[in-house]
Structure formats: C-alpha cells, structure tokens
Structure 1
Amino acid sequence: MKAINTLTAAVFAGISTYTLAADFSFDRPGAGVGTGIAPVGKLVWEQGLPSASYFENKVDGKTVKTAVLNGDMLLRTGLAEGLELQLGWQGPFWSKTKIAGKNIENDGLGDVSIGLKKAIDLNDDKLSMAVLAEAIIATGNEEFSNEDDIYSLSSAVDYAYSDLIGTSISMRYEVQDGNWAMNIVPTLSYAIAGNLSGYSELVFRKAESEEKEYALATGLIYALNDRMQLDASVGVDLDGEHKGYTSGLGFSVLF
C-alpha cells in the first residue's frame, strides 16, 4: 500500500484478544495476533466504521500531508476444534493528499486476505497460544494495494494474570516479493468498569533494508453482550522525522 504509511496501516490491519465475551475472543481491535478461535459452525463479523490515518513526510523537500479513511472487514468461522478460517478485505478507501498547495483526492478498493489460525494447547488455564498463516492478495486498486502479495506466519502468546489484567505478545514474519519484514507487538489489556475494558500496545516493525519503525496505540472496548462488542482506538507513530496518527471505530458480532 504505497500511498499509506506501512506501520500506521498495520495498527488497524491486525488482530488482538481484547473482549469480555465468555466463550471466545474477538480479533478487533489492535495490531497483534489473538489466541481466540471462532466456534465451530459459527460466523464472526468484525467491521471498521471506519479507520482513519493522517501522516506527513517529505518528497523532494516538499511536505506531503495525507489523510486516509477505510472500512476494513474480517470474517471468521470455526472449521474444527481449535482451527478457524479467516477471510478479510481492507475495504473501500478514500484519501486526500496535499502537496505544494494542491489537493489530490483518490478512492478505491483495498486488498483481500485469507488465513488459517490454529490454537496450541498449552494445558494451562491462564496461558494460551495460537499461530496464524495468512496471505494478503494484491487485488486492490493501484493507490490502495500492496502491489505484491504478502505471505506471513504469526504466533501469539497470551497470559491472563487475573480477571482484571492480561498481557500478550505476538510476532509476525512476512515476505513480499522476496523481501522480509518482522512485527513484534507486546500488549497490556485491562478491565475498567462493568462491560468496559481497554488495551495499550507497542508496535515494532523492521523491514529488510528499511529503518526500524515504532508506534503506540490504545483503545476501549464495550461488550454489549457475549456476542457483540464496540471498539474505539487511537495511535501515534514514533518515527521522529515523520508524523503519523491513527484512529478507528468498529464493531464485532458473533452469529
């Protein structure tokens, strides 16, 4: 996705385990990989409403300011005990770029993805683990596509200290057109009051022949019941010379 900062987009493209649902965990929001698995024969719909990002960089000495909106979607269904299929779409995009006093607007569709997530039984009530194999297929429009397919393998470990606090860390290795990249996301999740909970995470990314990238994100999740939740989140890039901010709203439903 050449028109959008890679790390900024990643904050809203990934998945995590923050939910108060009793029998499984939704994958929205967050940039990490969750350990929850969709129940067999059930459908999980997770939707951005939308996500927004803003960033600034320099091109030939000129400041380029870009704002982007998109509504990403993820569908999950359990294939067997401990195994789920994921189908994702980065959704419709709209962007506005300002450079040298000129505004350029674009819209289009993002890429699609398919993945398999498998739970790893650690025989521990507080410790859970999962691995995710995923392919992001570059089917989107030029301005909003990764241009080349991305193949990745991710792992996640989640530890519940108590009913109030949990921690997790996920690692993602990906290859695109022969170039490798790695994401590491440590996360702290916490109950706030009633059905309201929150999370905070650090996103680290290192791509081959590229500088290291860092971002911070935090958000709130409100569980309407065991089958539906709402979420809101914000994030900021920590790269220094470039400014980058994200925000997002979304919902998740189990059918």
Structure 2
Amino acid sequence: MKIWQTTAFGLALAYSMPSFATEFSFDRPGTGFGTGITPVGHVAWEQSLPTVSYNKASTDNGFEKTTTIQGDMLFRTGLAKDLELQVGWDGPAWTQIKNPTQKVEDHGLGDVSVAVKKAVDLQDDQMSMALLAKATFATGNQNFTADHNIYTVGSTVDYQQNDLISTSISMFYEVQHGDWSVTAVPTINYKLSDKWSGYSEFVYRKKESQSDQTSLATGLIYALNARTQLDASVGVGLAGDTPDYFGGLGVAFLF
C-alpha cells in the first residue's frame, strides 16, 4: 500500500496553534486538509522533513522490502476571505528496493499539484466546512510519478466538541485515467496545552478494481509561535499481512 498516495480524502489537521488569523490553520500533518483559509496577502509554506515509508511485500522469491524518503511541500495563499490557492510538489525522493536476489536504489523528483480551497459558511460557531478541487500533474521522474494526471474533489467538516477536542471527517473523490477511488478520513483532534496539540486518524480508501486500503496514524504538533509550527507523526497500514509503516517530521510557516 502506498502511503502518502492516500491522497484521496484526507483530513483536517488537528488543532493548529494560536493562529495569526482566527480562521487560519495549517493543513499538515495528517492525510487531508483543514477548514482554515490562508489570509489574503500571506503565504503558508508547509514542508516535510521528510516523510518515510516502509513496506514489506511477499513475492514468489520471498519478501521484497521498499523504503522511501520524500520531501513534499505545499504553498498556500489567500485569494479572498473564504478562498485560497494551493501549489504542491511531491519534492525530491529516494527509494530502495531489496529482495533476496538484489538491491536497487533510485532517486528523482515527484509530481506537481494545483488546488483551490473554499470555506463554506455554515452559520454555526462549532461547525466549519471547506471544499477542495485539486489537479495533480504527472510531471515527476520515472518511478516517482503517478504516471497519469489525478483529479480530486474533496470536503472536510469539522465539529468543535469543546475547548479541548474537535472531530472531523474528510472525503475525497478521485479519478485517474478513467479509474475512480474514494477516501474517507475520520479524525479526532485534541489540545494538550497552549502550545501542544495532537491528532489521530483512520484512513479508508477504495480504488476501482482494487482491494480496500486502510491505515491508522497519530501525531503531535508544537506551536513555536503564532506563525510557526513543528509536527511529528507515525502510522501503520492495516491491509494485508505484511508490515507497512510510515511517519515523518514537518515544519510550517505563515509569511
């Protein structure tokens, strides 16, 4: 199971931090996106440091182990009070594949994406919602590209249970080369202190003509100041009978 390609319906980030604008929150970490919009005239830079995934799959000759390290990034800027533009890049990546007969290493650059996110006013102090339209272009190097463009629409609904806990769910509908997939990500976000917060999520993804993919992830966020946050997360794939792990560190700035 390819971890970060669970790009379908990912979900809202945990309690972000004391933000520069009350409606703003960073979209990392986590599988998907939050309901906050970047203020007009500002840019949010969200960078992994990096993400790492490990997969061990059975083959006719034994086991094949794949390790991938990738430095993906996302830039967001406000177009209006309730609308933002996003430009993402899967970044530089390195992979190693080992099996009983050989070890192969490769490196390259990943795909580029462009998205628009719009906040939806629900007239509710506790509930917020955002919609996302995204196109991922297969511009990356061989072995580090999706091969065909991916077009995604998504939604996130977040409910503030109390001062310490919020719950959310993100849904994504994705089409690639005529094949459809759907992803659902329920998430619980919790505030631990003024600067520390965390999240836990379950990811379910179903792609046409393929088996279900599921995973669990959790992470911590530290608000360095009102415009900077650090994060760390780990996760495990639940589908299949072989190990499938992922995790990483990240940093985000609001300029």
TM-score bracket relative to the smaller structure: over 0.9
The farther-off stretch of 33-42 and 109-118 is: 33-42
- 1:96-175 equivalence runs, <5 A: 96-175=96-175
CA distance in 1, matches of 2:101, 2:162: 53
Classify 1:248/1:201 alpha carbon distance in 2 versus 1 (closer, same or farther; 3 Å). same
Report what 1:232 is aligned to.
232
Amino-acid identity (%): 52
CA distance in 2, matches of 1:49, 1:14: 20
- 1:1-255 equivalence runs, <5 A: 5-10=1-6, 16-18=12-14, 19-22=16-19, 23=22, 24-255=24-255
CA contact (8 A) 1:36 1:119 kept: yes
Kindly report the root-mean-square deviation, in angstroms, between the aligned alpha carbons of the 2 structures: 1.6
CA distance in 1, matches of 2:9, 2:157: 19
Deviation (angstroms), 1:43: 0.4
CA distance in 1, matches of 2:233, 2:196: 13
CA distance in 1, matches of 2:112, 2:70: 13
Amino acid at match of 1:45: W
CA distance in 2, matches of 1:234, 1:207: 24
Deviation (angstroms), 1:12: 11
**Which structure dedicates a bigger proportion of its chain to helix?**
1
The farther-off stretch of 7-16 and 40-49 is: 7-16
Amino acid at match of 1:49: L
SS in 2 for 1:157: strand
The farther-off stretch of 128-137 and 6-15 is: 6-15
CA distance in 2, matches of 1:230, 1:9: 22
Query: Which aligned segments of 4 or more residues in structure 1 are displaced greater than 6 angstroms?
Result: none
Deviation (angstroms), 1:226: 1.4
Q: What are the Cα deviations for residues 48-99 of structure 1, in whole angstroms up to 9, with x where unaligned?
A: 0000000011233431100000000000000011000000000000011101
SS in 2 for 1:143: coil
Amino acid at match of 1:82: D
CA distance in 1, matches of 2:248, 2:184: 21
Deviation (angstroms), 1:242: 2.9
Amino acid at match of 2:133: A
CA distance in 2, matches of 1:244, 1:203: 14
Classify 1:210/1:157 alpha carbon distance in 2 versus 1 (closer, same or farther; 3 Å). same
CA contact (8 A) 1:12 1:29 kept: no
CA distance in 1, matches of 2:52, 2:8: 9
Deviation (angstroms), 1:240: 2.8
Segments of 5+ residues of structure 2 without an aligned counterpart are none
Classify 1:9/1:234 alpha carbon distance in 2 versus 1 (closer, same or farther; 3 Å). farther
SS in 1 for 2:143: helix
Normalised to the residue count of structure 2, the TM-score between the two structures is: 0.95
Q: What are the Cα deviations for residues 162-181 of structure 1, in whole angstroms up to 9, with x where unaligned?
A: 12100000000000000000
CA distance in 2, matches of 1:34, 1:244: 26
Normalised to the residue count of structure 1, the TM-score between the two structures is: 0.95
Q: Number of paired residues?
A: 251
